[in-house]
Amino acid sequence: VLQRPPKLLGFVLPRIFVIGRGYKNLRSLLGGIYSNIEILALPDRVFQHSDAETVLLLASGRNGQTVRLHTGEVHRRDLEDFYMTHKPSIETVDTVQKAPEEFARGLWLSPLREVWKFTGRMTRLGEIAAVHRGIEYNLPFREHEERLVSEIEQPGFASGVHRVEDTLEPFVVCKHVFLNMSPEVMRTSAYKLPWAKPKLIVNAGRRSRGSWRITAASDYAGLVCYQNFHGIWIKDMISLEVLAAVINGPLANAFVADREGQRHVRASTLKNIPVPEFRPTQEQTVTSLVRRYVEVRSRWVSGDISSDESESLCRALLKSIDAEVLDAYDLPPRLERTLLDYFTNQPRPSPVEFNEYFPPTFKPFIPWHMYISEELRNTTATATLRRLPVVDDPVISEALSILE
C-alpha cells in the first residue's frame, strides 16, 4: 500500500506510533511518500469495544520530501463537542522539511514545541539524579496480595508504598504499608536499591488522563516503592524539596504528558525533564515554601486548623511554589502563558481545587509570579476603588449631580 499510494490512505494506530516509540521505519516511509498528513489523537475508551489509546492518521498527495503536517488532540471533556463540530481541543499545523528524517523521530507537532526548544539546553533530571522503578514480584500481585503486602509490621517486611491513589499527594506521602522484601519473591534486583536513603517518590502510572501526570513527594523515612512508583535519588547539590517542586510543577507535567501515552510514566521520560538552575535565594525560598506546605497539610489532616483555612493556605502555597519554579525557568512571557494555558480546565491531583492558572478573560502576557503578586492585585479596578475615599459631603454631592 505504501509503495503505491492511493489518493487517500487512512490508519487507526496506537498512540505510541506518533510520539517516537517504535514504528520508526513506517513513520519514515510515510514522510517519503505523502505530502499531506493529518493526525488526530483520541481519548482512551473512545471506541465501544476497545480501551486502547489510538490516533487517526490520514495521508494524501505525493511527496517531495516536504510534508504539511496537521496534528490535533481531543480531550475527553471536549469529546461531545467534537462529535458535533469535528474541532479538536488543540491543533497545530506546520510544514516539515526532510520529512523522512524528521518523522523517524516522531510525527507529533507539540503545541509546546517552542517551550521545549527554549529549554533544550537545560540540565536534565537524569544528570543530577538516579531514577529507578520500584520493586517487582515474581508472583501475580492480586492473587498473592496478602502474602506480599501487610498493614502491620512483620518479619521480612519493610515500610513502603504500593498504591498511588491513596498514598501520594504533591509533596506528601499520605500513608504507608509493609512490603515483603524476601529475595525469593522478587522478579528483579530493584529491592537492592538504597531505599533507606532520602529520595523522592514519583508515580509510575498516570495521575490523570489530562495534563497533570506526575506527583512527587520527599521521603526521609526510607520507604520502599512498589513498581507503581519511581524512586529518585539526587546526585548533585539540590534539595529534595526543590526537585519535588520542579516535578510537581506545570513544565515537568506538560513534558511528561507530551511524551507519554495515557497509562505509564517511564523512567527514561523522567530523566529527560529539563531542570532550571536555581539561584541560592530561589532554592531557599522554594525549600521554605514546600516545607510550609507540608506543615499546613499535616495540620489540615490532623484537624488543628479548619478545612477552609487549610485549603486556602495550601492553594496559595502551591501557586507560590509554581511561581518560584517558573521564575527559575525564565521562559519568555508568551511561552510561559502557552505552557500554563495547557492546564486550563485540567483538575490538578491535589487536595485543593486547582483547575487553571489564568482565567480565559485575562489576555496580557505576564509572568505567573507577577500575576499572583500583591502589587498586581493592588492595581485592579476593584482594589483601586477600595482605596479611594468615599465622598459624602452634601455640597460636593449636589455639585456632582448637577454636572451629571
Write out pLDDT tens, residues 199-220.
999 999 888 878 899 999 999 9
C-alpha cell at 233: 535519588
What is the Cα–Cα distance from 217 to 166, expressed in whole angstroms? 13
What is the band of 236 on the pLDDT scale with cuts at 50, 70, 90? confident
Q: What are residue 13's DSSP bridge partners?
A: 55
pTM of the predicted structure, to 2 decimals? 0.82
Please give the pLDDT value at position 224.
98
Round to whole Å and give the CA distance between 64 and 35. Answer: 7
Average pLDDT over the chain reads: 87
**Dihedrals φ, ψ of 235, to 5°?**
-95, -35
Phi, psi values for residue 353, rounded to 5°? -80, 120
Above pLDDT 70, what percent of the chain? 86
> DSSP code of 190?
G
C-alpha grid cell, residue 383: 482594589
Cell of 99: 520529512
Instruction: Determine the 3-state secondary structure of 259 from DSSP.
Output: helix
β partners of residue 158:
179
Q: Mark residue 364 as left, alpha or beta (left: phi above 0; alpha: psi -120 to 50; beta: remaining).
A: beta
Query: How much is the pLDDT for 170?
Result: 96
Cell digits for 392?
459624602
Phi-psi region of 303 (alpha: psi -120 to 50; beta: other; left: phi over 0): left
